[in-house]
Structure 1
Amino acid sequence: MKNPGSPRERLKLFARATAAATLVAGALIGVTATAGTAGAATSEPCDIYASGGTPCVAAHSTTRALYATYNGPLYQVRRGSDNTTRDIGLLSAGGYADAAAQDSFCAGTSCVITIIYDQSGRNNNLTQAPGGGAAGGPDNLANATAAPTTVGGHKAYGVYIPPGTGYRNNHTNGIATGDNPEGMYAIFDGSHYNGGCCFDYGNAETDSNDDGNGTMEAIYFGNIKVWGYGAGNGPWIMADLENGLFSGVNQHYNANDPTINYRYTTAIIKGGPNHWAIRGGNAQSGSLSTFYDGARPNVSGYNPMRKQGAIILGTGGDNSKGAQGTFYEGVMTSGYPSDATENAVQDNITAAGYSNSSGGGGTTGALHAVGAGKCLDVPNASTTAGTQLQIWDCSGGANQTWTRTSANELTVYSGGAQLCLDAYNKQTSPGTKVETWPCNGGANQQWQVNANGTVTGVQSGLCLDVTGASTANGALAELWTCNGQSNQQWSLN
């Protein structure tokens, strides 16, 4: 399935939950928390699924352990300078990713994610997707530093997937086939999506081809409307069942499948004989909602299902790879999980503490242009390096949310990618444009937010300035000699 589309980025920030994990019926697999700053809970998502009688058969995360006893690698990175690889593990058993190990290994060069390890013990690892019926390959690998996050107060990295990038395993162990029941959840960045086909995580064909209706069962996230769709403008959680994205029983509209774009979004699909469901919620707080729960689609070929048991991330079953998204964690189960089990998993997720705050004492908020009464804005939430910044009516969007880091950077999370406020080409003359650029620690990306309301470049000593003292939407930002005028006054809050 292919459908080109234009990316849209929207963001809602919700408070971090503090609830502890709920226990489902039966004894959970209890393990004493590991002492130290990265101590684990007594049960993690796959422990909860196991206690509910639907154990994980695949468990992928680049941010944390999904079992309380897991102490193996989460993922592997390869650096560009010498093509060597390193496994990135945990700070402690059942804990959080050792992001510092990645930062040290990748310092001064680029890194890509080569393997996302399966924590279930079944070796259902995800690696570079091969070519398929819809598009050639192998697919691109994800930039290992493009989706920074924090979880439990610890720095970690998600899997940032632009179009053309994908992971797959066509030779799996224990993944549901035929009409057998299964469940799956994933945590996505709800602000990073598009209308292309198809940003999926889940069950797909083992030959990377479109093998007909009912040969897939995967979570889809995005706002394509070629097949089924939900309420509003999207994005929606839907099921990719091959030759159709389904929001409900038919191949068209389901008013009960809402636009859902939390910064961290929990997405769930589960299916069994003539029965399937869509559920979702905010991965930072609150409970799950059910958007569909009923019979298989009323289109020929989906009852019974003909699932094949491969696993995909970031593409469609036939390697359609025009979509984009960001993945943090997800699992697949044997058996159809109960709502109670999934509710307990959601409690665990919200308690894990996903956040896009930088840590290190940083301040996050809109950077208000005091003279214009507007906000410093990344035009159209662009992810393109070198995009000149502008002022625009304040919207609360991610492309207007800036973080002052302990390294004196001003970072923005635009379109799912973290970028830095940057003085073009390290220039120090008045009129130098101010742009977004991947963070690199350079002096032209270091800024002083001063008590007098100015923001000055550490390298240039010049002030962040709205060109021509304009107050209009779209007025460009630049560096200029500090002059005390209102178009050089800023407030980060």
Structure 2
Amino acid sequence: MAAHSTTRALYAAYNGNLYQVRRSSDNTTRNIGLSGAGGTANAATQDSFCAGTTCVITVVYDQSGRGNDLWYQGSSVVPGSPQSKPAVATSESLTVGGAKAYSLYINPGNSYWRDGHLTGVPTGAAPEGMYMVTSGTHVNNGCCFDYGNSETTRKADAAGAMDAINFGTQCWFGGCSGTGPWVQADLEWGLFPGGSSSWNPNQRAFTSKFVTATLKNNGTSRFAIKGSNAQSGGLYTLWDGALPPGYSPMKKQGAIILGSGGDCCKPDGGANLSAGTFYEGAMVAGYPSDATENAVQANVVAAGYR
């Protein structure tokens, strides 16, 4: 029900736009598309349009066809606090399958959001799954670098009101082993390394340049967290078991957050405190099988992030 990337098409037949940039010289915008159907970003379009000036990423388009585009908090579409700004479009370049692309390089003050409760994003205790490709080298301990289901109110409403992947070095409940960064679940009122507020000894840090992170939640009894190097190998299961006490059933509201926690960035509030990098991610209704998650990881590895 949502698929986002600044680097490549996430459907073999997709030939639409990936994201939009706005340049500071004249405040005009340009959509950044693909080299071809199912291909990689046409970075040359951005390079030409942004030459000699600064560009920011205003929106990351949803490739699923459901219209779940992620606009930056602080835009006219998603009004935000004066401190909320769009991410600079040229902070990090990379290659995917040998082709140049740019990441969504989020620093404190940047975040993106969409109210998708009427356009397919699960609510209540409905099951869902998600993944993202991020970076283990651009992280901090600010709250909270998330991708996933969040509050439509943009407030910290209740335990279970969020269901999002979190990646960073924040140790919410204390007792963490090492310095991270870790793949955790932001379920609201806490970042969970496993099925409770106690540290999960099966957790591990993911410090590679490119990291795959997954989360799935059946909404009533079970959730699973996994992670891996996005350039090689399979997914490592960090947790697959019961939801934390007080989080069953889930109370999801159906917004999508990227780059911040759920209670962020309203016009009368503060701005995002986290840092992180987003290359691609998707959210699905239903509870993905392990085989599906493994296939996603294999596809990410084959894409050739460098």
TM-score category (smaller protein): over 0.9
Q: Are residue 280 (structure 1) and residue 224 (structure 2) matched?
A: no
Distance 1:245 1:278 in 2: 12
What displacement does 1:229 show? 6.8
SS at match of 1:102: helix
Distance 1:95 1:156 in 2: 11
Match among 41, 44, 59 for residue 97 of structure 1:
41
Opposite residue 213 of structure 2, the aligned amino acid is: A
- The equivalent of 1:251 in structure 2 is 197
Distance 2:24 2:280 in 1: 25
Match among 267, 273, 280 for residue 322 of structure 1:
273
Distance 1:228 1:177 in 2: 30
- Pairwise mapping of residues 280-299 of structure 1 onto structure 2 (< 5 A)? 280-298=227-245
- Pairwise mapping of residues 228-239 of structure 1 onto structure 2 (< 5 A)? 230-239=176-185
Does the 8 Å contact 1:223/1:229 carry over to 2?
A: no
Q: Are residue 122 (structure 1) and residue 79 (structure 2) matched?
A: no
Q: Are residue 183 (structure 1) and residue 116 (structure 2) matched?
A: no
Distance 1:296 1:236 in 2: 18
Higher relative contact order (CA 8 A, sep 6+): 2
Distance 2:155 2:243 in 1: 22
Which segments of 5 or more consecutive residues in structure 1 lack a partner in the other structure?
A: 1-56, 356-493
Distance 1:254 1:332 in 2: 25
Does the 8 Å contact 2:210/2:229 carry over to 1?
A: yes
Q: Are residue 74 (structure 1) and residue 25 (structure 2) matched?
A: no
Large movers: runs of 4+ above 6 Å: none
- Pairwise mapping of residues 252-271 of structure 1 onto structure 2 (< 5 A)? 252-271=198-217
CA RMSD, 1 decimal:
1.4
SS at match of 1:336: coil
TM-score (norm 1): 0.58
SS at match of 1:190: coil
Distance 2:175 2:281 in 1: 23
- The equivalent of 2:297 in structure 1 is 346
State the identity as a percent.
57
Distance 1:154 1:257 in 2: 34
Q: Are residue 164 (structure 1) and residue 164 (structure 2) matched?
A: no
- Pairwise mapping of residues 74-473 of structure 1 onto structure 2 (< 5 A)? 74-130=18-74, 136-137=81-82, 139-172=84-117, 173-227=119-173, 230-272=176-218, 273-298=220-245, 300=246, 302-319=247-264, 321-355=272-306
What displacement does 1:226 show? 2.6
- The equivalent of 1:409 in structure 2 is none
Distance 2:303 2:72 in 1: 28
Alpha carbons of structure 1 residues 194 and 229: separation in structure 2 relative to 1, 3 Å? farther
Distance 1:108 1:164 in 2: 24
Find the structure with the greater CA-based Rg: 1
TM-score (norm 2): 0.93
- The equivalent of 1:476 in structure 2 is none
